[in-house]
Structure 1
């Protein structure tokens, strides 16, 4: 080997040693920083265990049920989310232990597929609202949220309500059943409420998605808890975040009508600091439920902690591919490090600055993480060459004989072991020991992803010259979907069954009378109520059957409260094992069914029945107040002829509920009507009086609707008299 080569190797070796010294010192300081968080967390945990929980039992879900439901709005940005929004709404309606909420989905004018998907969802769920943003997409998430807030404020004005909380969620989120009850309990005293986020873990080989599970398990299991305890400031995770009305009002005032910074890639993170600067209360809510049926379903694995797994949280799938993860994390780095430094600067409070430093140190640690791994590989390679090839060049140790360096490296080894144990512990408590063990090798993969994301973020900022000009890079979403049947209009279904001709359908649609299409076809004698119900059930994917309104068991009538029957326009039909089957003339939303089930403390299901049957049942069994002679005559005739299909059909086709008539006439939308039903008490006032008092309709509109309903009843009365 030439002298020049030897000199080169010496210089390289010297440079490597300098790098090792610098890396060792920097890693030591960063490790001490992390160790401080660990010490505070465990000291706090011990204090609370021995000084608080020994005297006071932890709160459970019973406390959440003691607070009346306040209106809550869920905000969901949706760009190219076909097949995702519908499943979120369906799952939320089926699982959320709450009724008084509305979901507002932000779509874009140049994304018609997502719009059609949301329209289909709105048809089945009256508490879901489509919002079309002003600008074509994809804009930033903040811009979409600003459009959603405008729609929420408009809905408030129309429904004459005020939402107590504004909740951030993504279209792929799986929400804990008691999340809204937790927010409802904490509002309005708290202005920003963040619940934990736990990504779904992949198979053992899915290191990309797995590293998200590792990071969130530790961050939301320990770091944010310490952050809140020391500084009172909590960063929003972008999902599972609830803002109080006071917080949204303050943001709107500060932004001159614009709550979220449209040029920020991490608008949710920024808002946590903005609210803290305004003196508002921000909390991180880790609330565990004692009843497993009220927690998100999790497959039990060894090592899991029941209290941890039953925490109210958000679950979702994170990117599984390396490229998607790098793009997402580069957006976070740009928003938090570059834009955060530019927009937020530094605080006058030292403890806030400490956590700002911890957020922004990622620019350094992400680069060092991969460099440390490379240096470790170099050292191992040199040692292996020396050990396995005796005749090869023997490289002196890069560590030398410096006792200080050895001490620092020894401390770094301890700090590294502590880091791995801390992460493994928090991952194990939620995901099980198998994921806890996998979190160790996933640290290296995490370092690689973060390094590449850091490089990409630096390149984007340098290329644009301004971090605020970096374009928003949307993350693709995944949701456990189910098959969805195509929505075929009722008229088309009837034509396909040979029950109607296209000419007859066109004539019915262009009728000057404002009626439901199905009822218009019945009044024209083109179909009967049984045929209509069968088609409606097919469209809604529901069970259907005939229903004798006068043959209901007295026990069922006694068990099913009057206020529920009149509020939701349903009647008890039969008992199937432990499930109560309810009859309804229209598809009833899963949100309402869930509310009924909770009030009855038993499962319920809905069966679609022909026109007028439930109306007669309600008037016969529950509405004995203020019935005039005509109504009593119609009821007596219907009761006597309930087994005569022709006669009962002629009576039923003229039975129209007030709520149905108001919606058909276009006087009130189904969304506003269902919102008004939430605080409607039939024991205290009539439905019409309630709608007028709420400002949903005017007195004149109500009088006209009541007159139309009276005319329909008079037609039934005339038939009853003539047939008698």
Structure 2
């Protein structure tokens, strides 16, 4: 090596020495900053354990079940989310221990694939609604949420209800079974409720995906806990966040009807600050469940702490490739650091400013962390060269020759050990010992990811000249529409089955007698109730079964309370092991099946049976009590006559079905209304009229139609000798 190159290298190393000194000073400040949070957390934990929980037991999920279910709205923005929305809705319906909720999925007019999937989901779940945004996508998440809120408010007006909470979720979220019950319990006392977010762990060698679990485990295990305790302000994570009705109303009023800032890349984070400025109460809810059936955690590994891992939380997958992680984190940096500084500035509260500083220091720490890695590599390379090559040039150590630097390095070494321990503890508490050990090498890789995300964010801001321009331009306030689900029409299914001809179907459709096509075809005698039931079962993907409504086991009848039988219009027809098999004349949603299973404390399934069988069975077993209905008793004696049963049953119709068939009340609004209906306290007609869902005139019209159908039904029985 020539002397000129040696001199140049010496100057470079001298520069690295000064860089090491500057970085050591910065690391000391950052380390002391983190140490303050660590000490605050552990002192708070010790105090609560010694002073609070010795006298007061930990809260359990039993108190969540005692709170009456309030209507909740779940908001899910969806741009190119095929293959995800359906899975989320099915998982929510089958696992959520809650019934009174509606899911509103925001789609775009230029995303037909996602719309088609949401249509299919809406067919199966009456509480899922497709919202078509006013503008083509992709717009911002905030813009999609604003469209969803507009649709929710319109649904409220139509259903005559008020949602108590508005919940943020992404399509890929796995929701805790008791999440909605926790929100329901805390509303309306709290205006912003955030539950922890725990990413799913990737393969051990996937450091990009793995560094997310390290950051979220420590952030939602410790940092946000301290923040809430000190300043009472909780940042929204964008998922697993519930806003009270009061909070949404305040946001709408502040922005002239637009709740979320469409120019912000982190609108959820900003809303937490905006609500805090309005004096509204937020809470970071780390609520542990004792029953393992209600926990989303399934990693039973060494080192896992039950009190930390059995909390109600959100689980989801995060990016696993370097480029995707950099893109995602650059959006976070632009939104929190650059846009946050520009739009929110600083608070008048010094302690809150401290936490704002911690939010925004990422623009500095991401650079420092990468440079520390770089200096470490240079030191390591110099040591390796000197160790491997005997006659190599010897340079003074970058980290020696200065007592101040040496003490800085010692202090930083101690603080680094503390950082490694804190991350190891919180990762191990939830994910187990192996993931905790991996958190140390992943910390190095996270510095690399965050550095390049920082560079990308700075480049985008410089190119635009204004961090606010990186987000989408603010749009005019436009109303979206709630789309109707697409499905294969029932009439076409009957034609495909060979039950009717195409000309029969056309004639029935043109008749327009105010009935659904199935009932119209039945009244014309073109199909039998059995054919209709088979077509409905095929449409719903359910099983078909025959049913003799008067020959049911009285022991089974006793196992299904009248309140549930009449509300859901079902009859208990069999038992398969512990599973109670119910009979229904229509498709039951998985939400209803889950609600029945929870209330009966046993598995439930259902089968679709021919028209009128459940209607007669409900009247026979549950309605007639003090006085027997002679017609029902007589029909029960003749129930083996299939021709007679078909003649009677084809005209049996429940009032709830009738008001939907006659177009008086959409099925989605009827399903929502049924949450508060108690059939043992009042009639369905009076209840719907009292709620303002139908007028007295429409109710009288429906009752007259039902009376006319009953007259036709019993006429067949009257001609018997």
Q: Tell whether the structures are fold-level matches, with TM greater than 0.5.
A: yes
| Equivalent of 1:672 in 649, 662, 669 | 669
User: Distance between the aligned counterparts of 1:658 and 1:680, measured in 2?
Assistant: 14
Distance 1:530 1:88, change over 3 A: same
Alignment match, 2:479: none
| Equivalent of 1:655 in 652, 656, 675 | 652
3-state SS in 1 of match to 2:511: coil
**1:287-436 alignment, distance < 5 Å:** 287-436=287-436
Distance 1:520 1:633, change over 3 A: farther
User: Distance between the aligned counterparts of 2:299 and 2:436, measured in 1?
Assistant: 15
Q: What whole-Å deviation, never above 9, does each CA across 1:573-623 have from its counterpart, x for those lacking one?
A: 122222211111011112222222222222222111111000000111112
**1:255-654 alignment, distance < 5 Å:** 255-471=255-471, 488-624=488-624, 632=629, 634-654=631-651
User: Distance between the aligned counterparts of 1:382 and 1:371, measured in 2?
Assistant: 17
| Residue 440 of structure 1: how far off its partner (Å) | 1.4
User: Distance between the aligned counterparts of 2:461 and 2:707, measured in 1?
Assistant: 69
Task: Give the conservation status (yes or no) of the 8 Å contact 2:299–2:432.
Answer: no
Task: Give the conservation status (yes or no) of the 8 Å contact 1:634–1:651.
Answer: no
3-state SS in 2 of match to 1:358: helix
User: Distance between the aligned counterparts of 2:297 and 2:45, measured in 1?
Assistant: 27
Alignment match, 2:14: 14
Larger displacement relative to structure 2 (341-350 or 155-164): 155-164
User: Distance between the aligned counterparts of 1:472 and 1:547, measured in 2?
Assistant: 58
Task: Give the conservation status (yes or no) of the 8 Å contact 1:634–1:716.
Answer: no
3-state SS in 1 of match to 2:623: coil
| Residue 15 of structure 1: how far off its partner (Å) | 0.7
Q: What whole-Å deviation, never above 9, does each CA across 1:456-484 have from its counterpart, x for those lacking one?
A: 111111111111111469xxxxxxxxxxx
5+ residue gaps, structure 1, are 474-485
Alignment match, 1:694: 691
User: Distance between the aligned counterparts of 1:615 and 1:153, measured in 2?
Assistant: 35
User: Distance between the aligned counterparts of 2:301 and 2:511, measured in 1?
Assistant: 62
3-state SS in 2 of match to 1:193: strand
User: Distance between the aligned counterparts of 1:626 and 1:490, measured in 2?
Assistant: 40
| Residue 445 of structure 1: how far off its partner (Å) | 1.7
Larger displacement relative to structure 2 (409-418 or 212-221): 409-418
Q: What whole-Å deviation, never above 9, does each CA across 1:615-652 have from its counterpart, x for those lacking one?
A: 0001111122799xxx9454234312222222111111
User: Distance between the aligned counterparts of 2:618 and 2:331, measured in 1?
Assistant: 57
Q: What whole-Å deviation, never above 9, does each CA across 1:293-320 have from its counterpart, x for those lacking one?
A: 1111513111111222210000111112
Task: Give the conservation status (yes or no) of the 8 Å contact 2:262–2:472.
Answer: no
Task: Give the conservation status (yes or no) of the 8 Å contact 2:73–2:103.
Answer: yes
Larger displacement relative to structure 2 (381-390 or 631-640): 631-640
3-state SS in 2 of match to 1:300: coil
> What TM-score, normalized to structure 2?
0.96
Alignment match, 1:99: 99
| Equivalent of 1:683 in 670, 680, 683 | 680
Alignment match, 2:118: 118
Count of residue correspondences? 709
Task: Give the conservation status (yes or no) of the 8 Å contact 1:661–1:705.
Answer: yes
Alignment match, 2:211: 211
Task: Give the conservation status (yes or no) of the 8 Å contact 1:386–1:395.
Answer: no
Task: Give the conservation status (yes or no) of the 8 Å contact 1:218–1:426.
Answer: yes
Task: Give the conservation status (yes or no) of the 8 Å contact 1:122–1:130.
Answer: yes
User: Distance between the aligned counterparts of 1:577 and 1:632, measured in 2?
Assistant: 34
**1:44-123 alignment, distance < 5 Å:** 44-123=44-123
5+ residue gaps, structure 2, are 474-485
Alignment match, 1:481: none
User: Distance between the aligned counterparts of 1:697 and 1:718, measured in 2?
Assistant: 30
Q: What whole-Å deviation, never above 9, does each CA across 1:145-171 have from its counterpart, x for those lacking one?
A: 111111111111111111111111111
User: Distance between the aligned counterparts of 2:200 and 2:350, measured in 1?
Assistant: 36
Task: Give the conservation status (yes or no) of the 8 Å contact 1:77–1:145.
Answer: yes
User: Distance between the aligned counterparts of 1:301 and 1:372, measured in 2?
Assistant: 34
User: Distance between the aligned counterparts of 2:660 and 2:642, measured in 1?
Assistant: 28
